[in-house]
Structure 1
Amino acid sequence: MRRPFSNAPIRQYSIRLFAGAFLAFATLLPSGPSAEAATVQEQQRNLAVIRINAIDLLAREKRLPLPIQQRRDVLRAYYEEQAGELLWLRDDRAEALVAILNDAGADGLRPDDYPTRQLMSLMQNTDPEDVRGLALIELFFSAAFLEYSGDLSVGRFLPAKVDPNFFLKTRTFDQAAALQAVSNADDLVDFFDALQPPSDYYASLRGALAQYRELAMEGGWDLVPLGPTLKPGMTDPRVADIRERLSITDGADPEPQGGDETYDAELVKAVERFQARHGLDVDGVVGPAVLVAMNVPIEDRVQEIELAMERWRWMPRDLGQQYLMVNIAGFELRRVKDGRAEERMSVVVGKPYSRTPVFSDQVRYIEINPYWTVPSGLAVKEELGKLRSNPGGLASQGFEAVRGKDVYDLRSINWANYGPGNFPFQLRQQPGPKNALGRVKFMFPNEHSVYLHDTPSRSLFSKAERAFSHGCIRLSRPLELALQVLTAGGVSGWNMDRINSVVATEKNTVVKLATPLPIHLTYLTAWVDEDGVNFRKDIYNQDAKLLAALDGKALAW
């Protein structure tokens, strides 16, 4: 996945630099087999001396440079307690690490976050016979290696530190294991490739990042002038600008056979491709939203891809052989098996002020004809006024009051006696066609009380942006997904006829999965599929938060 080292001047300079330091330190004897053996032995002795000095620095030096000081314990454990060999003062490993750090941008990281210049400056200004200085350089290289490896593997920040609505289980980077592993690695490129998220989604973003960076180097795209809405068949001087813009990303022909100002069928197809990739209404009409999306600078699109890659580093490395994944920003659910999306459907997610949280869990059962228990805060805030003025209205929609094991008709309670801080009831809606959860819900019990469910409000799925819920995820084709989840969860004996017959009874029915199905609620404003690179609006302002965190990162170097 990683490209070969591409910065020839840096490579040549580093070769001279490292050769000057390390080879000059080794005693060079006359040629011949015995001389070569003696040279190897002398080099080994010299490296052993450097290692002893590195151990002594870690054990005795009170004022080590901060990057080393921050990792003193793990470095000391490796070099002293585990008798680890030197990692960077042999072969061309130091050169390889410098080249990889300079190429950190290929993974959406920032090369300036890593101390390649400082490392090379140290090498340039260190006497090759100064074993203490060489030992310090070894430790600096190891500290830089740990910094970069952790960033590449698990990300630069804890998700919850960036946004409190991210509840992903914190992934940790085992620094001690990484030092041991790299000491045995034959190829650093392969080693770092293995640290990347293993998902094909990440690999495709990596390819998209290289593509969009190349486009940016070529100048990106020009702005399309704003103006009135353009519909198929119309003529407009801006058609040539639109055609040129979409020739870069959506396959439009920049030199059409007909007139330059006619919005013809071929360009309509390109506009529709663009609309689909950006989550807009796919109608071929070039209105304000389409023009705004076309005019987003390519640098912003590059940044969105980088942020998506960072979020993939937060994800579990093992998503599961089969799993559900909801992209909140993309308003979409996918059911994936063996790395291939076998189902895709539109979803409705939480409003910006009642956000759907980001976390991973497991679907454990589905509930056909579910009850809906109104959250207590919502019951008091949104329903108590209705109960006081017209309890019969809610009763006609199937609502009832529950207190312990007792169930009450809403019209039998004097609701004026109750209010915030004094509401001992649960407000529950019975199964049926009016139920807010529809005919089925998918349960992965969690502290957020979030789940997937059907909805009687079908009109919302026709909208391009679908952030309308109180946090749960509404499904466009829930019964189809129910059969798929039962099958994936190892439950036999179910088909659509049986599901429909159970729905028709309007009786609450719980079906437990034999094998829980992983589910991942994600937030990605950029991803790649068969249509190309997709971009979506940052509905929860989470891209902005992550970007602010990255820009404010304090570096130890």
Structure 2
Amino acid sequence: MAKPENDSVCLFAASAAASAVASIVAFGAASVVLAGLLRTPDAWAMPAVDQTQGGEESHLRATPTAVQNPDRLHDDPVPATGVASPRGPSLEGDTSAIQPRPVVEADPTADAAPKALAGADELSNLSKAKLSDLLSEQFSDTQEGRFLRAFYAARHWVPQWVANDVVGGANGSVGLTPRGHRLLEALDGVAAQGLDSQAYRLGEIRRLVAKGDLTSLAQAEIRSSAAAMTHLFDLLLGQTRRFMSFDKRLALLETEERLDGVNLLANAGAAPDAAVFFAGLAPDTDQYGRLIAGLANTRAQIEKGAAWGDPIPVEGRPSIKPGERDDRLPALRKRLLATGDLVGPEVDFLGYDAPLILDPVTEGAVRQFQARHGLATDGVPGAKTIARMNVSPQELRSAVEVALERWRLLPRDLGGAYVLVNVPQFELFVMEGRRVALTMPVAVGREGFETPLFSDSIKYMEFNPYWNVPISIAQNEVIPKQVNDPDYLAKTGFTVVTRTAQRDPVIDHATVDWSKIGSAAQGYRLRQEPGPKNPLGTVKFMFPNKYAVYLHDTNSRYVFSRSDRAVSHGCIRVGDPKGLADYLLANNAGLPSKVADDFKGASPQIVRLKRSLSVHLAYITAWGLEDGSIRFSQDVYGKDPVLRQALLDSAVIPHADAVMAAR
């Protein structure tokens, strides 16, 4: 058993269903397509809009920097009375980079919609007034109503989703345009991403279209735009932000994602295929597509509930060692077959005469299951392993849905290259686009010292760092050891400096009355010199923040042999500090000829990065693997139930369409 932490550093596996694979392909293709479209303004058709708002041509998003908002938090939103906490503080200062999307010329081949409206074919004054009246009637003076009024005014009241010859009062076809059909089809499929579609009121829209009269069609047009905007909010900001007011979500689009709401909605309507447009706005990471496939798998597991079997007894039962007999093994094999960790048509065909013995094949399947769940991979079904096996498919589905929402809550622009620390997985990834350039284990904050979740950027490295002990750690951990052993500070390489003098002169630790622990911690600063006893190890990676946390080496290397690495005071200990330092020296510091070992010494040396590197401290308990399986991590901080409840609370009750129709 690992010794108690005392170094005090600082405050399933089944292939995806065909539909899920198709979703991943669509998401991957969409990101490529959309990237081109955002840079090619004439790629999509869009009706003329009010030029007084646009200014010069610019892209939909501002030119990204390494981190658009270094202080932006993305912790769990906690619903309040009608309002949820935002991911973090809004960007302050200049917002001139927020520009509307430029007007683009119509593409007559992009859609089979009726001919473009111009001159005599433009909407009649009657239909303009009808749309305007309906906006006032349906939304009154609400925030959403004012937004939609501005949206349609910018379009000169040209409808976007409903067949315009009908709304214009002419005889002809009745119903949605091809783009309108594609919009509803796209919104019908959002459950594949773990999103709730009830809020889009799709049934109501279809009923209004089926009525066919001018008023109903105009209402369907307005409802379609409202549904599209709600989905854009869900996709770009997270479904759990539905608790926020419409105007606050609109402001967050601008401050966090550099997107103008009116132009974003116009581009959604101008896109030949709404599904492709929406997919291009989803998180640009392989993880999102893998989790969509994983969600399809877990839903399939639920449908095959009988294959899962009953819970495996664990209370008061011993671990099952290789070669041992246990009457739970048939049920355990059945569970491993259901999760895909054990491959074979039936247990009877595994080729073993003794089904009650833990054989090598089953042991290997247990190891694979343990690896996917962040457990010690010893092949022994013990209490923790069997408890995880007893997690139902419904709970696993919920974990994947929560993970998808967490990706939506992260900044959409993570940076061209970035560091992502997945706290519950105890792992760090250096990403270059979608390529994993470097990965390593990490140790994070333990209970009571949780690692905070936020985004920032690494500015510099400090080799051979001092450790300046925080007051709370000095008072609660270091000084009590000095009281018990008067030579403790000297033996462990601590220097004592006064906090009052301007130059912090070093003083003799023997002159301090350490028995007065509180006053000693407040009056003196403890600084540990560089060296093998320093818990920061050889280097720390700094992204100055209000939490005073950072990445660093450690002199407690044994911690990386543990499966549960929530052990620190909040900072992140990295398993390969030399690898990370060498990467930054070559790619961000402009020192490709240097390596970390060149900076070894007895004194601190700071290397500032010429190009800062984005860093995101995230909390994702379901992680998609290349083989199509999902790795589930322990919810070490108990955050998933909070976000899961927020997802449920933000969803519209089932059959809401029927209720509205009855009204």
Shift, 1:47, TM fit: 7.5
Q: Secondary structure at the match of 1:89?
A: coil
Change (3 A) 1:321 1:510: same
1:545 alignment counterpart: 642
Q: How does 1:391-540 map to 2 (within 5 A)?
A: 391-402=486-497, 403=499, 404-405=502-503, 406-415=505-514, 419=518, 423-492=522-591, 494-495=593-594, 499-500=596-597, 502-503=599-600, 505-530=601-626, 532-540=629-637
Give the conservation status (yes or no) of the 8 Å contact 2:442–2:572: yes
2:269 alignment counterpart: 183
Distance in 1 between residues matched to 2:351 and 2:180, nearest whole Å: 56
1:221 alignment counterpart: 308
Partner of residue 420 from structure 2, selected from 286, 304, 325: 325
2:332 alignment counterpart: 242
Q: Secondary structure at the match of 1:461?
A: helix
1:54 alignment counterpart: 131
Which digits, 9 at most, give the CA deviation of each residue in 1:2-55, with x for residues without a partner?
4999xxxxxxxxxxxxxxxxxxxxxxxxxxxxxxx9999999566874343112
2:239 alignment counterpart: 156
Comparing 512-521 and 292-301, the one that deviates more: 512-521
1:78 alignment counterpart: 151
Give the conservation status (yes or no) of the 8 Å contact 2:458–2:543: yes
Give the conservation status (yes or no) of the 8 Å contact 1:84–1:180: no
Which digits, 9 at most, give the CA deviation of each residue in 1:108-155, with x for residues without a partner?
10233331223334444x4x33x3343222212211111112102221
Q: Secondary structure at the match of 2:424?
A: coil
Q: Which AA in structure 1 matches 2:468?
A: T
Distance in 2 between residues matched to 1:407 and 1:47, nearest whole Å: 84
Give the conservation status (yes or no) of the 8 Å contact 1:2–1:189: no
Q: Which AA in structure 2 matches 1:544?
A: P
Shift, 1:408, TM fit: 2.1
1:376 alignment counterpart: 471
Give the conservation status (yes or no) of the 8 Å contact 2:198–2:652: no
Shift, 1:396, TM fit: 2.0
Q: Secondary structure at the match of 1:77?
A: helix
Which digits, 9 at most, give the CA deviation of each residue in 1:242-269, with x for residues without a partner?
2222223214323301223332222222
Change (3 A) 1:45 1:427: same
Q: Secondary structure at the match of 1:329?
A: helix
Change (3 A) 1:538 1:3: closer
1:24 alignment counterpart: none
Q: Which AA in structure 1 matches 2:637?
A: Y
Distance in 2 between residues matched to 1:79 and 1:537, nearest whole Å: 48
Which digits, 9 at most, give the CA deviation of each residue in 1:168-219, with x for residues without a partner?
x955764212221023111112111112112111111112112222222222
Distance in 2 between residues matched to 1:43 and 1:145, nearest whole Å: 30
Change (3 A) 1:443 1:158: farther
Comparing 527-536 and 80-89, the one that deviates more: 80-89
Q: Secondary structure at the match of 1:365?
A: strand
Distance in 2 between residues matched to 1:285 and 1:482, nearest whole Å: 37
Give the conservation status (yes or no) of the 8 Å contact 1:47–1:86: no
Change (3 A) 1:415 1:217: same
Q: Which has the higher contact order (CA 8 A, sep 6+)?
A: 2
Distance in 1 between residues matched to 2:343 and 2:521, nearest whole Å: 64
Q: How does 1:146-295 map to 2 (within 5 A)?
A: 146-157=229-240, 170-171=256-257, 174-219=260-305, 221-226=308-313, 227-248=317-338, 249-253=340-344, 254=346, 255-259=349-353, 260-295=355-390
Give the conservation status (yes or no) of the 8 Å contact 1:395–1:409: no
Distance in 2 between residues matched to 1:217 and 1:311, nearest whole Å: 26
Give the conservation status (yes or no) of the 8 Å contact 2:333–2:342: no
Shift, 1:479, TM fit: 2.0
Change (3 A) 1:50 1:240: farther
Q: Secondary structure at the match of 1:319?
A: coil
Distance in 2 between residues matched to 1:387 and 1:241, nearest whole Å: 55
Q: Which AA in structure 2 matches 1:252?
A: V
Distance in 1 between residues matched to 2:402 and 2:650, nearest whole Å: 15
Give the conservation status (yes or no) of the 8 Å contact 1:491–1:513: yes
Q: Please, which runs of 5 or more residues in structure 2 have no aligned partner?
A: 1-21, 27-113, 164-176, 245-254, 657-663
Give the conservation status (yes or no) of the 8 Å contact 1:450–1:472: yes
Taking only aligned residues, the RMSD between alpha carbons, in angstroms, comes to 3.2
Q: Secondary structure at the match of 1:414?
A: coil
Q: How does 1:27-176 map to 2 (within 5 A)?
A: 49-58=126-135, 61=136, 64-65=138-139, 69-83=142-156, 85-90=158-163, 91-124=177-210, 126=211, 128-129=212-213, 131-157=214-240, 170-171=256-257, 174-176=260-262
Q: Please, which runs of 5 or more residues in structure 1 have no aligned partner?
A: 6-36, 162-168
TM, length-normalised to structure 1: 0.83
Distance in 2 between residues matched to 1:463 and 1:39, nearest whole Å: 65
Q: Secondary structure at the match of 2:239?
A: coil
Give the conservation status (yes or no) of the 8 Å contact 1:51–1:135: no
Q: State the identity as a percent.
A: 35
Paired positions, count: 510
Distance in 2 between residues matched to 1:452 and 1:362, nearest whole Å: 12
Change (3 A) 1:250 1:40: same
Q: Secondary structure at the match of 1:460?
A: helix
Distance in 2 between residues matched to 1:463 and 1:240, nearest whole Å: 30
Distance in 1 between residues matched to 2:268 and 2:312, nearest whole Å: 53
Q: Secondary structure at the match of 1:289?
A: helix
